Structure 1
Amino acid sequence: METRQPAAVVVQGDTTTTLAGALGAFWRRIPVVHLEAGLRSYDLTSPFPEEANRKLVGQVAALHLTPTAVAAANLAAEGIASERVLTVGNTVVDAVLEVAGKCRPYQDSRLAAVDAEVRAGRRRLVLVTVHRRESWGEPMERVLRAVAEIVLTHPDIEVVLPAHPNPAVFGQVQEILGQLDRITVTEPLSYSDLARVLSVATLVLSDSGGIQEEAPSFGVPVLVLRDVTERMEAVDAGVCAVGGYGPAADRRAGASAVDR
């Protein structure tokens, strides 16, 4: 920022780097433009620390670019003047559709084989992503055991699960799912591979934020592996459902979604 002297700094989303970029610009009195502004779960502990990050960025931003009217209303309720808010749509949707449309070859050859089975009508694909730190430990174990039960009770289901690289998390995944057929455990996927997998999925089980927007772009429903979500528009539209972390919530909701 000191070298380039920008007229403005654009930060997107709610990651900690987004907060750092916004604070760096603010401290230098450079206007901050927040893209994907206004998302709120109203729970500082979930998602953690993203809910706090986006609220803090909102305090220093000069211009708030919201994806939806609901996000704009959230900012209005916090006292943000309407002339500082512009609803521009969702760049995540733009990106995932463009990347998937390029049909680049899979970097993981196992995914190409899964894709072929799905397109031939021999399998239904369920994508599972569990990476949030509040999911680690017992909540993740419940999710993984629910996934195992879904595979064992639905012989046409194929699961793709990109595992978090943390050794403890990866070990937990391998312990519960490593010996089961029709479950492909991968390293975190490239964006191109993720977009292609989403485009052929039947169902997504995820604690991610972005996937709640990406999957429905392909008409794929999402079972949200959290107790709350900042993307209630998807829930209200009927394309996402919040599964929660109750002892049997993931198993019941996942099996029900697969059956439908």
Structure 2
Amino acid sequence: MANLKVMIPLSTRAGVIKFAPVIKAMQADQVNFEPVIVVASQKYQQLHAVLNYFGLKPDFELNVDPVNERGKLDELSRLLHNLQTVVNAAQPDIMLTLGDTIVTLAASLSAFYCHLPVAHIEAGLRTFDKHEPFPDEMHRQLTDALTDLYFAPTEAAKENLLFEHQEETQIVVTGNPIVDVVQDEYDPKYASALLAGLPDHCRIILLTMGRIENTGLPMERVLRTMRDIVETNPDVELICPLPLDSQSFSLAEQLLANHQRIHLMPLMTLGDFINTAARSYLILTDSAGTVEEATVFHRPVLLLRQNTERPEALFAQTTKIVGTDPTSIQQAMFDLLNDKHLYRTMVSESADIFGDGHAAERIVAELKKRFIK
């Protein structure tokens, strides 16, 4: 029996984190699986740091010029060309994609033209607004149009796919593998120099921002607002990890520097981030992945976006959309810092909104059942 050669394109730090338990499960079953890891990203340092964290090594690395130099259309064209070369060299049996990046779309198109089946993790997520988030929403819709096997993280995602007339027999609800990772990384005995240096009984606010549409003025508004909130709430400590080599870090240095209760720092390791988030009072983020992570350790989230493809968190009242408008952020923060009943409402007792920690094994088992004879 030949093993199944699965091509896995990676392009973001979050994508590596979510793919890691799936790749590990395949590597543990070498009789049946041969994962082929392809890295295609401009953020090589960030991506390789998390690959090293999980002990993963790429089989291929694509050379793609930064998008700000050439633009999305040229980036897509170059990705298609380079992925075609990798497909010819690796001769995979299936393309396994995840999420909504331009690399996800390019990999799905490449597989389609090469007559390879496509399996899509996080299939069925929708805002139903093709311009928000841009261009992610159309990347995921187009990828699902090319997909043969849908790994939907939730029942709501499955319903979206059925609404779009996808075959129910090709949809498997698995949960999201980010939950697998959070459960593995969470340490109830975790300690760090950062947390040890904070006052007893302080309330930690964790702030993360990374989306392109929030760079510049939107981030400036958020940072100024958060500084005001820290200054008017003496028991609040703000922790803000950002990429050290980014313009965002430089902006944050200007606006958040020289404050005893504001802790600006480079991106944390995954374990440090998850365990710090788990000990936070609440989280402000523009990351959908962080929304999912926060449900596992029951922390309220204020989402710095206009909408979300994870409405389950809104229905469960664990997440509130505030965008980047200072007034909306200030009001939501005031409510959560002063209204104990509201805070308890957002601290969901359900940790399985986005899965039970067994998504990776379900994904690998389904691939084995369908493609390995």
Fold-level similarity (TM above 0.5): yes
Provide the secondary structure at the position in 2 that maps to 1:161. strand
Once the two structures are aligned, what percentage of the paired residues are identical?
35
Deviation of residue 254 (structure 1)? 2.1
Which residue does the alignment assign to 2:276? 197
Provide the secondary structure at the position in 2 that maps to 1:101. coil
Give 1:28's match in structure 2, choosing from 108, 114, 117.
114
Deviation of residue 216 (structure 1)? 1.4
Give 1:10's match in structure 2, choosing from 96, 103, 121.
96
Deviation track 1:71-121 (CA, whole Å, cap 9, x = no partner) reads: 11111112212112111112111111212239777xxxxxx2332256x74
Question: Does the alignment pair 1:73 with 2:152?
Answer: no
**What is the rounded CA distance, in whole Å, between the counterparts of 2:95 and 2:142 in structure 1?**
16
Paired letter, 1:177: L
Tell whether the 8 Å contact from 2:152 to 2:158 is kept in structure 1 after alignment. yes
Question: Does the alignment pair 1:227 with 2:306?
Answer: yes
Which residue does the alignment assign to 1:108? none
**What is the rounded CA distance, in whole Å, between the counterparts of 2:180 and 2:246 in structure 1?**
34
Tell whether the 8 Å contact from 1:41 to 1:229 is kept in structure 2 after alignment. yes
Deviation track 1:37-70 (CA, whole Å, cap 9, x = no partner) reads: 1111122232222212111110111011101111
Deviation of residue 22 (structure 1)? 1.9
Question: Does the alignment pair 1:115 with 2:195?
Answer: yes
Give 1:210's match in structure 2, choosing from 274, 289, 293.
289
Tell whether the 8 Å contact from 1:117 to 1:123 is kept in structure 2 after alignment. no
Counterpart mapping for 1:181-196 below 5 A: 181-196=260-275
**What is the rounded CA distance, in whole Å, between the counterparts of 2:215 and 2:131 in structure 1?**
14
Counterpart mapping for 1:116-155 below 5 A: 116=196, 121-155=200-234
Paired letter, 2:193: A
Q: Alpha carbons of 1:74 and 1:53: their partners in 2 closer, same or farther (altered >3 Å)? A: same
Gaps of 5+ in 2: 1-86, 340-373
Structure 1 or 2, whichever has the larger Rg, is 2
Give 1:255's match in structure 2, choosing from 326, 331, 334.
334
Structure 1, 65-74 or 162-171: larger mean CA deviation: 162-171
Deviation of residue 165 (structure 1)? 4.4
Give 1:158's match in structure 2, choosing from 232, 237, 245.
237
**What is the rounded CA distance, in whole Å, between the counterparts of 2:288 and 2:333 in structure 1?**
18
Tell whether the 8 Å contact from 1:103 to 1:196 is kept in structure 2 after alignment. no
Which residue does the alignment assign to 1:50? 136
Tell whether the 8 Å contact from 2:286 to 2:303 is kept in structure 1 after alignment. yes
Structure 1, 245-254 or 73-82: larger mean CA deviation: 245-254
Which residue does the alignment assign to 2:176? 90
**What is the rounded CA distance, in whole Å, between the counterparts of 2:269 and 2:135 in structure 1?**
24
**What is the rounded CA distance, in whole Å, between the counterparts of 1:249 and 1:151 in structure 2?**
16
User: TM-score scaled to structure 2, two decimals?
Assistant: 0.64
**What is the rounded CA distance, in whole Å, between the counterparts of 2:249 and 2:235 in structure 1?**
25
Deviation of residue 35 (structure 1)? 0.6
**What is the rounded CA distance, in whole Å, between the counterparts of 2:333 and 2:95 in structure 1?**
41
**What is the rounded CA distance, in whole Å, between the counterparts of 1:104 and 1:25 in structure 2?**
43
**What is the rounded CA distance, in whole Å, between the counterparts of 1:46 and 1:185 in structure 2?**
29
**What is the rounded CA distance, in whole Å, between the counterparts of 1:72 and 1:33 in structure 2?**
14
**What is the rounded CA distance, in whole Å, between the counterparts of 1:113 and 1:156 in structure 2?**
19
User: TM-score scaled to structure 1, two decimals?
Assistant: 0.90
Tell whether the 8 Å contact from 1:146 to 1:250 is kept in structure 2 after alignment. yes
Tell whether the 8 Å contact from 2:244 to 2:265 is kept in structure 1 after alignment. no
Provide the secondary structure at the position in 1 that maps to 2:88. coil
Q: Alpha carbons of 1:156 and 1:114: their partners in 2 closer, same or farther (altered >3 Å)? A: farther
Gaps of 5+ in 1: 106-111
Structure 1, 70-79 or 21-30: larger mean CA deviation: 21-30
Deviation track 1:142-174 (CA, whole Å, cap 9, x = no partner) reads: 211221122112212111111244643222211
Deviation of residue 244 (structure 1)? 2.3
**What is the rounded CA distance, in whole Å, between the counterparts of 1:254 and 1:225 in structure 2?**
12
